[in-house]
Amino acid sequence: MKALALILRYKIRNSRRVFFVPRLENLLRVVVNLSVGLLLFAGAYWFFHYIFNYLGGLHEIGSLLMDKVVSLAMLTFFMMLILSNLVISLSTLFKSKQTEFLLSLPTEHLNTFIARFLDNSVYSTWAFLFLALPLLASYGEVHQFRWWQYLSLFSLGLIPFVLIPATLGVGFSLLLFYLRRFTKPINIILALVALVALAMWLYLQANNPRSLSLSSLEDFRILNSYLSSLKAVSFSYLPHVWFSEGLKALTLKDFRSVSVHLLALATTTIFLFRMLFLLSEKVYFKGWLASEEKGTAKKAKERVWRRRLGFLFRFDPLFWLPPDTRALVVKDLKLFVREPSQWAQFTILLILLVLYLVNLGQLPLTLGGQQLWETVITFANFAFCGFILATLAVRFVFPSISMEGANIWSIGSSPLSLRRLFWGKFGISFVIFLILAEILAYCSNRMLYLSGLMMVLTGLGIFLMSLGLTSLATGCGAIFANFSERNPGKIASSSGGMLTAVLSLFYVALMVFIVALPVHRYTLHLSSGLDFSPLQVFQALIMMLALNLVAIFLPLKLGLSSLEKRSDF
């Protein structure tokens, strides 16, 4: 314990200095970060407050819907926290110089594990708090919570709720590296991803979206019975249910129910902690050793096959690129494929997207003549695609320049100019991004049975959004490039990454608003005979053009000039 306390003391001292450095530039950075954080917090608070207030106004089912929103949000958070803990632990508990250093010291491996587990929990959780805290604060505000209710909620509810997925995610990663001794990591990760996908599919099947007919939305009785049917499948053994039930009980001041649910959270946390520490004592160091000891010799069988199929590998699909750009593309693709923390997260996101598409296909969207709903759902889908693209851009495009890392000197001293590097990164990201985005848009539009014109319009919107988001992420990635950090997840969640995320989401919101407004007015014109002038479409086009000119050219210009001015490599 003494050694652990010492490790933690010095780690905290080190971390404190990362954030609080009494120099003007650092103070400015703290002020900017705080302002962005507060803005994000305030925006999320306002958004949730608006929704809860609206739901609160629906007397018959308002509170029921509110609780359902919280429960679904907490379930989503719970799943995302498990995934982020799992993915980030690959580079904190295992592939890390700091971990290797701590393991070389004369202290029990458990101390290293606990110190790095705490790091991992902080890295994986802080972004979640930016959404969860305003959600819960606005829920409390709508229900006129008093201080002790907030205190119980955050200390007895939220802390265990965050720690449970942390233990589960890290537990999975311990097993993953332990099993790595027996099979390739890709097999384990694919099995895990398939398991998660299956679990989510089963869950969504159990919720049965087909039973919700949009044409009956206004019928409260049907909706009520639908919500009751959802209740039946809200497994009462899941932490998000305990949390939301505890929250509901806190609102009703039903202390018995509060104690039962919060105790369930607390005891589960303690139990999982105990299990995790036991597991770590058995497998952590063995798993760490396995992560360090990669087989370097290729199996003879693999070599034979490679030789036989060699002609397939000789064809170079990138022959049309200049040699230096081709080298950059090949290097980036290889590094991406060989970095489990990169492709594992990408695969998980893709699987979630496929699940989204599958469930979109199951929605009863014939919507017999309901133009308004069709428009709403079309633009909700457009916004969702934008949100996904923004997430992907911040997570994968933003870190791409920083990921050159300590090796930036090899490019800096090579005939490949930084300008070429910058445009190369932008080009690769944009092409991959555009293909993915258009596939997503096409599939989701097909699932929604959109007309040809709407398909073309959203396809065009997605093209512009891909260009805008890639420019934003590449430009900001160059402005906030951090060549000393090797973990792409940490680069994406840095202050620069946060700012890029906010700007990207703002850009998506503006794009959706600009495109949706004239379409909405046109729909109202068709259904209710409200005035509509083609001038409104022209205005929207001008606004969209202006927005994209700013979003595309400004970050690229600033990013490029910032990169060319850098001298820290």
Partner 1 sequence: MITIRNLTKKFGEKLAVDHLNLEVTRGEFFGFLGPNGAGKTTTIRMLVGLSHPTQGEIEIAGIDLKKEPVRAKLKIGHVPDSPYLYDKLSAREFLNFIGGLYRMERRQIEREADFLLDYFEMTSWCDQRAEGYSHGMRQKTVVTAALLHNPEVIIIDEPLTGLDPHSGRLLKNILKERTKSGTTVFVSTHILGIAEELSDRIGILNQGRLIACGTVRELMGMAVAQGENLEGLFLRLTRPQHPESVLST
Helices 534-565/418-447 angle, 10° precision:
150
User: Closer CB to partner 1, residue 96 or residue 269?
Assistant: 96
User: Closer CB to partner 1, residue 217 or residue 406?
Assistant: 406
391 lines the binding site for partner 1 (CB under 8 A):
no
352 lines the binding site for partner 1 (CB under 8 A):
no
97 lines the binding site for partner 1 (CB under 8 A):
yes
* Minimum CB–partner distance for residue 302 and partner 1 (Å): 11
Among 60, 100, 219, 316, binds partner 1 (CB under 8 A): 100
7 lines the binding site for partner 1 (CB under 8 A):
yes
> For partner 1, what does the binding mask look like between residues 16 and 35, x meaning CB under 8 A?
-xx-----------------
Which of these, 196, 186, 189, 172, lies nearest to 352 by C-alpha position? 196
235 lines the binding site for partner 1 (CB under 8 A):
no
Residue 251 CA to residue 176 CA, distance in Å, equals 41
Among 60, 219, 281, 293, binds partner 1 (CB under 8 A): 293
Piece of 45-53, 94-102, 196-204, 226-234 that binds partner 1 (CB under 8 A):
94-102
Would you tell me how many other CB atoms lie within 10 Å of the CB of residue 161?
Answer: 27
Residue 196 CA to residue 194 CA, distance in Å, equals 5
Would you tell me how many other CB atoms lie within 10 Å of the CB of residue 136?
Answer: 24
Amino acid letter for position 457: L
Residue 427 CA to residue 471 CA, distance in Å, equals 10
10 lines the binding site for partner 1 (CB under 8 A):
yes
* Minimum CB–partner distance for residue 418 and partner 1 (Å): 24
* Minimum CB–partner distance for residue 477 and partner 1 (Å): 22
Interface with partner 1 in residues 142-181 (CB under 8 A)? none
Piece of 105-113, 160-168, 267-275, 505-513 that binds partner 1 (CB under 8 A):
105-113
Among 22, 106, 529, 534, binds partner 1 (CB under 8 A): 106
**Which letter does DSSP use for residue 487 in this model?**
-
Residue 211 CA to residue 56 CA, distance in Å, equals 24
Which of these, 210, 545, 238, lies nearest to 359 by C-alpha position? 210
Residues 342, 488: contact at Cβ < 8 Å?
A: yes
User: Closer CB to partner 1, residue 95 or residue 248?
Assistant: 95
Piece of 102-110, 191-199, 374-382, 408-416 that binds partner 1 (CB under 8 A):
102-110
User: Closer CB to partner 1, residue 7 or residue 512?
Assistant: 7
Among 222, 289, 537, 547, binds partner 1 (CB under 8 A): 289
Instruction: List, in order, residues 6 or more apart from 377 with CB less than 8 Å away.
Output: 214, 365, 367, 448
**Which letter does DSSP use for residue 391 in this model?**
H
* Minimum CB–partner distance for residue 295 and partner 1 (Å): 3
Among 57, 218, 296, 301, binds partner 1 (CB under 8 A): 296
* Minimum CB–partner distance for residue 156 and partner 1 (Å): 34
Tokens of 212: 């919700």
Instruction: List, in order, residues 6 or more apart from 330 with CB less than 8 Å away.
Output: 318
User: Closer CB to partner 1, residue 20 or residue 255?
Assistant: 20
Among 219, 292, 316, 564, binds partner 1 (CB under 8 A): 292
Would you tell me how many other CB atoms lie within 10 Å of the CB of residue 34?
Answer: 11
For 137-176, give the secondary structure using H, E and C. Answer: HHHHHHCCCCHHHHHHHHHHHHHHHHHHHHHHHHHHHHHH
Residues that bind partner 1 (CB under 8 A): 3, 6-7, 10-11, 13-15, 17-18, 97-98, 100-101, 103-108, 289, 292-297, 299, 484
